[in-house]
Amino acid sequence: MCHLDKAFGFMSAAHTYISRKDDADKMIVVERGDLVFVFNFHPSNTYEGYRVGCLNEGPYKVVLSSDEKCFYGWENVTKYNDVTYLATGQAHDDRPASFQCSAPNRTVVVYAPAEHVDSMSEEIPGLAVKGNGPYWAM
């Protein structure tokens, strides 16, 4: 998480929005800066095609997933799949754009704009940041 913050500056980002807190599904979706965090706290339910609201349209990719092998995950959602999630203008959860993703049980997956993601990066295990990330020098 510290490396992710160095790359994207999400901890000090002005843009913060909680678009979903669902007690029944045990899901939380949060936007911080350019990133979209999808938390699934459910002990057994995995959600496929889960719609997530976001601020900006365009392609997103997995930049960090607790489901990675290096975090002892099952690799259901991993940077190595190199999947692009296209956020369209379909409004959802009071957000102007949205995309559909998988949300494995007991995981957090962080999505970033695809232009800043390198799915084959091995520099920091589990992290898929292209170069040093867009906010490294700030």
- pLDDT digits 0-9 by tens, 7-51: 999 999 999 999 999 999 999 999 999 999 999 999 999 999 999
Element (H, E) at 71: none
pLDDT in tens, 112-124: 999 999 998 888 8
Q: Provide the 8-state DSSP code for 111.
A: E
Q: Walk me through the domains of the chain, giving residue ranges and CATH numbers.
A: 2-116 (2.60.40.1180)
On the question of pLDDT at 137 being above 90, the answer is: no
What residue has token string 């995950």?
73
